[in-house]
């Protein structure tokens, strides 16, 4: 069980405790995730040029970006080798736009679905932290 798994389990036990929410989301934003990618037939390997297309799955009319906190969990889900990129949680939050959903660790007991409003809130948290860091950097540079 990873720290993120433990934090998710604790969060599920008491959703209304701000400490549980804070711990889970802090771990999520500071972790890196394996995002499965794909290439269309005849395309060059875009990953070498920094152009990976994420695999987005549709379920019940919603689009889900698939996220796995380990390569092993990704491989267990796909059942075969698949290209992927490793992306920090804070970068995922900064880049994701509605109506995209996230599906974390599908196929495990520690799976979690992130809704667009939740992702938008995480994006705001990241933007606030980045603004504070930039302000601090500027103050130290003066």
Q: Which of 50-64, 109-123, 126-140 has the highest mean pLDDT?
A: 109-123
User: In 27-54, which positions are buried (b, 16+ CB within 10 angstroms) versus exposed (e)?
Assistant: bbbebbbbbbbeeeeeeeeeeeeeebeb
Out of 35-49, 60-74, 103-117, pick the least confident. 35-49
Query: What is the Cα Rg of the chain in Å?
Result: 17
Q: Which residues pair with 65 in a beta bridge?
A: 56, 102
103 and 42 Cβ atoms separated by less than 8 Å: no
The string of pLDDT tens digits covering residues 76-93 is 999 999 999 999 999 999
pTM of the model: 0.87
* 3-class SS of residue 113: strand
C-alpha 34/C-alpha 26 separation (Å) is 18
Q: Residue 46: what pLDDT? A: 44
In the chain, which ranges are continuous DSSP H helix?
3-13, 18-30, 71-78, 89-95, 116-141
In degrees, to the nearest 5, what angle opens at C-alpha 112 toward C-alphas 110 and 116? 165
């Amino acid at each position: 069980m990873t720290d993120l798994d433990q934090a998710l389990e604790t969060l599920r036990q008491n959703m209304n405790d701000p400490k549980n929410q804070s711990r889970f989301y802090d771990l999520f934003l500071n972790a890196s995730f394996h995002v499965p990618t794909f290439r269309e037939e005849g395309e060059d390997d875009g990953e070498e040029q920094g152009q990976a297309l994420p695999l987005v799955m549709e379920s019940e009319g919603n689009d889900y970006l698939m996220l796995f906190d380990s390569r092993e969990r990704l491989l267990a889900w796909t059942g075969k080798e698949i290209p992927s990129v490793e992306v920090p949680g804070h970068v995922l939050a900064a880049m994701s736009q509605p109506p995209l959903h996230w599906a974390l660790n599908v196929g495990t007991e520690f799976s979690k679905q992130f809704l667009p409003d939740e992702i938008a809130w995480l994006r705001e948290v990241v933007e606030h932290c980045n603004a504070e860091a930039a302000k601090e950097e500027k103050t130290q540079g003066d």
